[in-house]
Amino acid sequence: MADHYEALGVSKDASAAEIKSSYRKLARKYHPDVNPGHEDEFKAISLAYDVLSDSEKRRNYDMGGGENGQGVPAGGGFGGFGDIFETFFGGGAGSAGGPMPRTQRGKDALVGVNIDLETAAFGGNIDLDVTTAVVCDTCSGAGTQQGTSVETCSLCHGAGSVQRMTRTLLGQMVTNQTCNSCHGFGTVIPSPCLNCQGDGRVRKQRTMKIRIPAGVSDGTRIQLSSQGEVGPGGGPAGDLFVEVMVGRHEVFQRDGDNLRASVSVPMTAAALGASIPFDTFDGSQELSIEAGIQSGTVVKLPGLGATRLRSETRGDLLITVDVMTPDKLDDEQKDLLSQLATLREEETPRAQITTQNRGMFSRMRERFAGR
User: Is 182 among the annotated ligand-binding positions?
Assistant: yes
User: Is 130 among the annotated ligand-binding positions?
Assistant: no
User: Is 196 among the annotated ligand-binding positions?
Assistant: yes
Round to whole Å and give the CA distance between 135 and 356.
67
Burial class from Cβ neighbours inside 10 Å (0-12, 13-18, 19+) for residue 215 reads buried
User: Is 8 among the annotated ligand-binding positions?
Assistant: no
Q: Is 75 left (phi over 0), alpha (psi -120 to 50) or beta?
A: alpha
Q: How many CB atoms lie within 10 A of CB 120?
A: 26
Round to whole Å and give the CA distance between 124 and 118.
9
Helices (H), the chain: 4-8, 16-30, 39-52, 55-62, 81-89, 117-122, 267-272, 331-343, 360-368
CB 278 within 8 A of CB 285: yes
User: Is 179 among the annotated ligand-binding positions?
Assistant: yes
Report helix angle 39-52 to 55-62, nearest 10. 100
User: Is 153 among the annotated ligand-binding positions?
Assistant: yes
Residues 153, 154, 156, 159: is their CA dihedral positive or negative?
positive
Helices (H), 219-289: 267-272
Instruction: For residue 323, give every residue at least 6 positions away whose Cβ sits within 8 Å of its Cβ, in sequence order, or none.
Output: 264, 265, 266, 267, 270, 293, 294, 295
User: Is 156 among the annotated ligand-binding positions?
Assistant: yes
User: Is 139 among the annotated ligand-binding positions?
Assistant: yes
**For strand 109-115 and strand 240-246, is the pairing parallel, antiparallel, or unpaired?**
parallel
List binding-site positions for Zn(2+). 136, 139, 153, 156, 179, 182, 193, 196
Residues placed in the known binding site? 136, 139, 153, 156, 179, 182, 193, 196
